[in-house]
Amino acid sequence: MLRMDGTFGTPIKYTNSHMDVIYTYNLISTMLILFRGFFVLRVFTNLRPLIRMIKEVIKDLASFTFLLLVSLFFFSVLTFIMFAAIAEEDGKEADLIKYYKIATD
């Protein structure tokens, strides 16, 4: 393999972990380039409102995701409390609860 200084040397051997890092960098850089290229489409007059709409949707998606995660957390807490109450009532361990027990009560 010819090096930059014009001398020959042993080829560089990459391990799987090195290749995983290289592939990750390649994926991230490709996504950023495509994301930047997407906004270059604003040059066309017909696409400007659509690009602006997609930009606003992506911006508002963060607050919706936060709201969704908070409601999911509270639902999981309520489900845990419900299963713990059934386990305490039956005198069993919490991991032995059957899911159909709630539906039959």
| pLDDT value of residue 2 | 54
Q: Would you give per-residue pLDDT tens digits along the chain (105 residues)?
A: 455 665 666 666 777 778 888 899 999 999 999 888 888 888 888 888 988 898 899 888 988 999 999 999 999 988 888 877 777 776 665 454 555 555 555
| pLDDT value of residue 91 | 64
d(C-alpha 17, C-alpha 22), whole Å: 9
Q: Two tokens at 24?
A: 């990750």
Relative orientation angle of helices 48-90 and 16-40, to the nearest 10 degrees: 130
Tokens 């919490």 correspond to what residue? 94
